[in-house]
């Protein structure tokens, strides 16, 4: 069939003979790849000329009406073929419904047509799935199951943003804070965790990623498998940095713009997932920052010389007061815990912990 017949049909200007050819084409060829391509080209041309003036529902009704007339005429001409005609008609209506969903004939109206049409018209159009944002509470960790079956544990106060469905090129999520990732294996589609400064690319592995905005470094500790670390340059382009192996810790300095890799000898970097805080010869500065996030408190050290201390301990389900008491037994400090202050009705400040030298 000639494409001009379709153009004249849409304009309401085709002859009776042309109309019969159009209807026959809808029944036999419109659902083929070649037919779909022709339909798309015709509709593209007509809608580009006048996007707002085309009554698409009326066009659809006209197609149905003329097909009914055409089928009725065939029934008169060949009454003995009613069953065959019925099935052909059912097949035709099925094709129209399919074409409506795929190629611009809007069964459900103009608004749905426009949503589909705008996507099809763009050569590089991407259908964006809705996103979810999950934030762990300040006093508990949260476990998230992603669309591909990957599991993520979020440390307290951390946030994960992920799509309702991953696309066919990458499984990309965004982390603010700290998360432990158990990635479902998929060799063809990489799993990408984006932070403010770097990306962690994996395909099936387990790793912990600490990326708090107020920290001077981003730490990736690998449990098993392998991951690639990628830097995002000033132009927004990816620059591969390094690939790490199991039991390695990659620490990226935001200030120095430098990556340092070291060996992991214990589980301190992801023990929080099991409700444990482990410190192994940690500086007091690191201990204070982790305790502040863990208990959602503000900790102030009045004697700066205490920052030179190091601390080793394991805490499991202890309260803030219990942790501070144990620290006071092991180091030369004394402490006080202030209650929350009411800032406004129903809104309270964080508890504040003051740490001083025991001798002062």
Q: Where are the domains of the chain?
A: 3-121, 131-263, 275-357
pLDDT, one tens digit per residue, over 156-201 is 999 999 998 898 888 999 999 999 999 999 989 999 999 988 999 9
pLDDT score, position 232: 80
Fold of domain 131-263: Jelly Rolls (2.60.120)
CA atoms within 13 A on the CB side of 41: 11
pLDDT, one tens digit per residue, over 224-267 is 999 999 998 777 788 888 999 999 999 999 999 899 999 999 99
β-strand partners of 299: 353
Strand stretches in 247-346, DSSP E? 248-253, 258-263, 276-283, 298-301, 310-316, 333-338, 342-344
**Which residue shows structure tokens 């199951």?**
145
- Asked whether the beta carbons of 14 and 5 are under 8 A apart, the reply is yes
Mean pLDDT of 17-37: 69
pLDDT score, position 139: 85
Mean pLDDT of 322-348: 87
Residue 35 token pair: 């037919």
pLDDT above 70 covers what percent of the chain? 68
Residue 279 has pLDDT above 90, yes or no: yes
Residue 107 gets which letter from DSSP?
T
pLDDT score, position 44: 59
Residue-averaged pLDDT of the chain: 78
- Asked whether the beta carbons of 321 and 267 are under 8 A apart, the reply is no
275-357 CATH choice from 3.40.50.150, 3.55.50.30, 3.40.47.10, 3.50.50.60: 3.55.50.30
Residues 6+ apart with CB under 8 A from 82: 75
Mean pLDDT of 332-346: 84
pLDDT score, position 263: 96
- Asked whether the beta carbons of 282 and 314 are under 8 A apart, the reply is no
Residue 347 has pLDDT above 70, yes or no: yes
Residues 6+ apart with CB under 8 A from 84: none
**Which residue shows structure tokens 């995002």?**
232
Pick from 224, 220, 229, 180: which is nearest to 204 by CA?
A: 224
pLDDT score, position 158: 95
pLDDT score, position 5: 73
Q: What is the pTM of this model?
A: 0.63
- Asked whether the beta carbons of 46 and 59 are under 8 A apart, the reply is no
**Which residue shows structure tokens 């700066």?**
304
Cα 219–225–228 angle (5° rounding)?
50
Residue 245 gets which letter from DSSP?
-
Residue 9 has pLDDT above 80, yes or no: no
pLDDT score, position 50: 47
pLDDT score, position 100: 43
Q: If DSSP codes are grouped into helix, strand and coil, which group holds residue 294?
A: helix
Query: Cα 188 from chain centroid?
Result: 18
Residue 75 has pLDDT above 70, yes or no: no
How far, in Å, CA of 265 to CA of 336, rounded? 34
Mean pLDDT of 133-151: 92
pLDDT, one tens digit per residue, over 309-328 is 999 999 998 999 999 999 99
Same fold, 131-263 and 275-357: no
């Amino acid at each position: 069939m000639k494409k001009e017949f379709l153009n004249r049909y849409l304009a309401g200007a085709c002859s009776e003979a042309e109309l019969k050819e159009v209807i026959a084409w809808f029944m036999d060829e419109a659902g083929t790849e070649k037919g779909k391509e022709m339909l798309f080209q015709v509709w593209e041309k007509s809608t580009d000329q006048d996007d707002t003036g085309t009554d698409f529902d009326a066009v659809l009704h006209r197609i149905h009406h003329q097909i009914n007339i055409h089928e009725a005429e065939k029934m008169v001409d060949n009454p003995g073929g009613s069953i065959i005609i019925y099935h052909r008609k059912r097949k035709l209506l099925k094709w129209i419904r399919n074409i409506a969903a795929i190629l611009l004939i809007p069964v459900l109206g103009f608004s749905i047509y426009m949503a589909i049409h705008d996507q099809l018209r763009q050569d590089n159009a991407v259908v964006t799935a809705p996103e979810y944002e999950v934030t762990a509470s300040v006093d508990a960790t949260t476990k998230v199951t992603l669309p591909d079956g990957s599991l993520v544990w979020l440390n307290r106060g951390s946030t994960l943003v992920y799509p309702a469905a991953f696309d066919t090129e990458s499984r990309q999520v965004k982390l603010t804070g700290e998360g432990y990732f158990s990635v479902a294996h998929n060799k063809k589609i990489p799993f990408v965790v984006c932070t403010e400064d770097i990306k962690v690319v994996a395909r099936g592995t387990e790793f912990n990623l600490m990326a708090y905005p107020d920290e001077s470094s981003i730490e990736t500790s690998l449990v098993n498998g392998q991951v690639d670390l990628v830097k995002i340059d000033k132009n927004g382009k990816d620059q591969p940095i390094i690939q790490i192996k199991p039991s390695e810790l990659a620490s990226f300095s935001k200030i120095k713009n430098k990556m340092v890799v070291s060996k992991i000898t214990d589980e301190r970097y992801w023990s929080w997932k099991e409700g444990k805080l482990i410190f192994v010869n940690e500086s007091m500065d690191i201990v204070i920052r982790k305790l502040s996030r863990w208990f959602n408190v503000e900790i102030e050290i009045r004697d700066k010389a205490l920052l030179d201390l190091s601390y080793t301990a394991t805490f499991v389900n202890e309260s803030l007061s219990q942790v501070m008491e144990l620290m006071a037994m092991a180091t030369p400090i004394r402490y006080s815990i202030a209650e929350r202050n009411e800032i406004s009705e129903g809104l309270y400040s964080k508890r504040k912990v003051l740490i001083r030298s025991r001798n002062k």
